[in-house]
A and B are shown apart, each in its own frame.
Chain A
Amino acid sequence: MNPQHRLDVLRGVTPPRPHDARAIAALAANPGCARRALMDGAGVDKDAAARHLGFPAPFGQSPFAITRGNVFEALVKADGCAELLRMLRELLGLPVAEVAYHDVENVGAHLRHAHTRTLIDRAARDEHDAGTLYDHPLLSLEIAGHTAYLEPDVVAFQLGGRFHIVEIKSFAVIDGQADPSAVAAAARQAAVYVLALRTLLEELGHDPLKVSHDVVLVCPENFANRPVASLVDVRRQLAVLRRQLTRMSALDRLLEGLPDDLTFDLRPDDDGRPTRPVAELADALRRTTARYAPDCLSTCDMCFFCRDEARQEGASDLLGRQVRDELGGVASVAEALGLADGTRDPAAGQEEIARLLRNAERLRKECLT
């Protein structure tokens, strides 16, 4: 059976869930997780699966945050991106006279991707280097055999002949500083767009490096709504993303050793309600290896399910990467404690960590009694 068919079987009759940039960016967060790679490769709706399993993901977005995000984006893009242009002029040296604005959304949804392609092709061909803004472009990226459609906020084409991805975010930059984790997430997401645009240029026979690795991040400044733009270098995020996407196209290796009829199908009824017995789905999922880490709690829909599994297995992963690294390869809690109190003999290669653990146990006993 070919891998693509295997992945379709894994997903079953549940419709595939399209990948958005946020989901693709999150793939890079835990590259070692086979369960996640398979579920994403097959386009499984992880959120629905987690819900059905009784482990709904702990994410949610406040309506206040959504409103604020929309208001801010509207403000930046108002009047043909007038405010954005002002900032790009300052940041990239975009000459005002030569800027054109294209709203790609003016064509029907089904045409948007083709239209974006044509516009970008024309722009890349153009000798005149006209500065142009493309609003609502639709890019695509191949993820494990599936085409994912992506909507960057804006693509700017600059005089120097380079495209810049513009990412509009509503977290504040206060006195020149923003929340590092928010910036990192934005950079990961923007890297997905850069990669998609580079792929498009390559397909069209242009130099992919015409897409700059410096993305323009637009955020509110201080406590007001006034936007401020800064350049963020996403080269590192691009490298991670590329590596992870290559891994995903090598899903066949992960599929080896799994039974041919293994499926994560939720068997939705006519109303879309899942009918698959929960225990059966959980069993199917447990056939694949997850690599749970506490960081999953903020990135993966399956996190509570995998955490529960890690608890049942008594895996030291539960305590975080730092503890796991410190234990140097001792994966289970019982094993580590056994080495510490001497009821278990160290296996080959475990002598050093066993000695440390025994010493630590002796010291704790001495101090606490």
Chain B
Amino acid sequence: MSLLTSLARLRALDEGIAQPIATVRHCHLADRPMVFIPLKLSGEAAAPLAAMLGADRDRPRLLVVAQPRNRDLRFAWAAELAGVLLPYVEGFLRDTETVERRNADPYERAIDAPQILVPNRAGVAFVRLLGRSMRFRRADGPYPVPESVPLLGRWLTYFAERAAYPGSSLMPAMTEELGRHWASGQSGLEDANLAALLAWITTGPSDDAEDPLIWPPAGPATDPGFDAEVLAPAMESGSAERVTEALRTQLEPSWRLMWQAIDLLAGLEEGAGVASRWEQDRGSFSGMAAHVAEGAPPQPRRDGAVAAAARLARMERAQAAYDAQRAYDDPLVMAEHRLTGEAFAGEVVDTDPGNTEGEGRSRKLRPLVVIKTDDPVRLSPGTSLGTPQRRAQGAELVSAGEGLVTVKITKGMGRGRTAAPGAVPEIGERVCYTSLTDDFQGSPALPDAEATPWTHGGPPREYVPDDEDAQEEWS
């Protein structure tokens, strides 16, 4: 959290209403998102209790395990869930576009991708465990399950893993997404409560949000009081209907909150970088689908050393790109960097569009721009800079001090003797420059998995599904 966000939180607390910390929306919102609110049985690692889900806000599907300790009922529930989620996911595989790649074969990318919205980060963690508990099952052998169950397990694993990828919108956690756009007047810990956070954003704080009788928790854990007083007796009664109705009361309020949150996010204009990040999501989704279609084995229990290092490197690059893109897209995010001195904004007070460097053939056009700024600039001469106003342009800091910064444009002003029209900012124009850039970073050189050095455990054993995995207890 930055000081800017802290100040917004203080302001929110003082005014009794959440304060914006973004001026545009930084996540993709699908035309037809799938809202998924899973509940688990308390005390168990991944025993599903119920889920409310659907892409139509007026027609939620409620799936319930009337007796969660019964293994068969759990798998029946998983199959039912697959019956809703798989058609939704696979529906996006029909329309594709061909993407040409340099130095590689072209590939097919889905034109749109599924988006599964869960209430909070704990929801994502539960989806991952659900995926883990399903993906090694087998449709044949000693403990057969419906064929759709292991397939759903692989998809749930994929979505939960993708949720950890900075900037991905395939499985957003709602409280996290809201928290990226609004600062409430409560702590980050309390922000994990969807009802409380939404109250801060819409009407102002309310103690009702913490009352499980008014706003039941948005899962995956249920309210202990509800477990003791309603759910346990309902289960003991043996009436599936009673259990279902009890769980409906716990899920329906969160269902409404989820759609309210979607509307709130939809009310924000989409940031410029969102489409390109969604494009990456579509590419990743298509890759996973191809993987499944080729009959590749389920994701391993743990990544091998090389795969883990590669994943980490990918996520680090994604984080850097996400941070830079959000700053370029959103002046309020850029302000955080201006506060720390990595960016500055101000009015152009002087220009020298015809400035050159070098002599003869190596003479280069290097227009100079002088900017008057109130920001505390903490960049040293020679730092390369980018600017949200002219994204293709590259610049370099020449000098800074006394509220005046001189910048030399090095890239993106045309090839002629004079700068292309519009390439050099005019006197009086407001501009912003930052050392933050979204330049392509190459991936680190990693050995093939087969060549994993002994320091990292040597080559990982290839995963061969066996009966033991498929028989793993799920009690």
Contact = CB atoms under 8 A, between A and B. Distances in A.
Interface of A: 58, 60-69, 170-172, 174-176, 220, 222-226, 294-295, 297-298, 314, 316, 318-320, 322-323, 326-327, 333-334, 336-337, 340, 356-357, 359-364, 366-368
B475 A319 contact: no
Contacts, number: 145
Interface of B: 1-4, 6-11, 13-14, 20, 23, 41-46, 129, 132-133, 185-190, 210, 222-225, 227-228, 231-232, 301-302, 331-332, 335, 338-339, 374-376, 472-475
A367 B332 contact: yes
A63 B232 contact: yes
B43 A64 contact: yes
Given A337-B11, A368-B20, A319 B186 contact: yes
30 contacts: A60-B223, A61-B224, A62-B43, A63-B227, A64-B43, A172-B45, A222-B45, A224-B474, A224-B475, A294-B186, A294-B187, A294-B189, A298-B189, A314-B13, A314-B14, A318-B187, A319-B9, A319-B185, A319-B186, A322-B1, A322-B188, A323-B9, A323-B10, A326-B1, A340-B7, A360-B4, A363-B335, A364-B8, A367-B331, A367-B335
Contacts of A61: 224
Q: Which of A172, A320, A363, A368 has the most CB of B within 10 A?
A: A363
The A interface is mostly helix, strand or loop, or mixed, namely helix
A334 B14 contact: yes
A65 B43 contact: yes
User: Ordered nearest first, which 5 A-B pairs have the shortest CB separation?
Assistant: A65-B43, A224-B473, A172-B45, A62-B42, A60-B224
A317 B211 CA distance: 22
Contacts of A176: 302
A222 B129 CA distance: 10
A319 B6 contact: yes
B475 A356 contact: no
Given A297-B190, A319-B10, A320-B188, 14 more contacts: A64-B42, A64-B43, A68-B42, A222-B45, A294-B188, A318-B13, A319-B187, A323-B6, A326-B3, A336-B10, A356-B339, A360-B339, A366-B335, A367-B335
A368 B23 contact: yes
Nearest to A336: B10
A225 B190 CA distance: 33
B225 A333 contact: no
B7 A360 contact: yes
A64 B23 contact: no
A364 B4 contact: yes
Nearest to B376: A359
A130 B189 CA distance: 49
A330 B80 CA distance: 54
Given A225-B473, A318-B13, A62 B228 contact: yes
A225 B475 contact: yes
A220 B10 CA distance: 44
Contacts of B186: 294, 318-319
A68 B332 contact: no
A171 B232 CA distance: 20
A364 B14 contact: no
A290 B228 CA distance: 33
A298 to B, nearest CB: 8
Nearest to A322: B1
A226 B471 CA distance: 14
Contacts of B227: 62-64
A333 B43 contact: no
A223 B189 contact: no
Contact of A223 (B3, B23, B374, B472): B472
Q: Which of A174, A295, A314 has the most CB of B within 10 A?
A: A174
B65 to A, nearest CB: 12
Given A297-B189, A318-B186, A333 B475 contact: no
A102 B41 CA distance: 35
A318 B190 CA distance: 10
A65 B338 CA distance: 49
Contacts of A64: 41-44, 227, 231-232
A223 B475 CA distance: 6
Given A223-B473, A225-B473, A334-B14, A175 B301 contact: yes
A31 to B, nearest CB: 19
Contacts of A226: 473
A320 B8 contact: no
A322 B14 CA distance: 18
A303 B210 CA distance: 13
A69 B186 CA distance: 33
Given A322-B188, A337-B11, A68 B43 contact: yes
Nearest to A321: B187
A304 to B, nearest CB: 9
B7 A223 contact: no
Contacts of B2: 326
A288 B190 CA distance: 25
Given A61-B224, A318-B186, A319-B6, A368 B14 contact: no
B339 A363 contact: yes
Given A327-B6, A356-B339, A367-B332, A337 B14 contact: yes
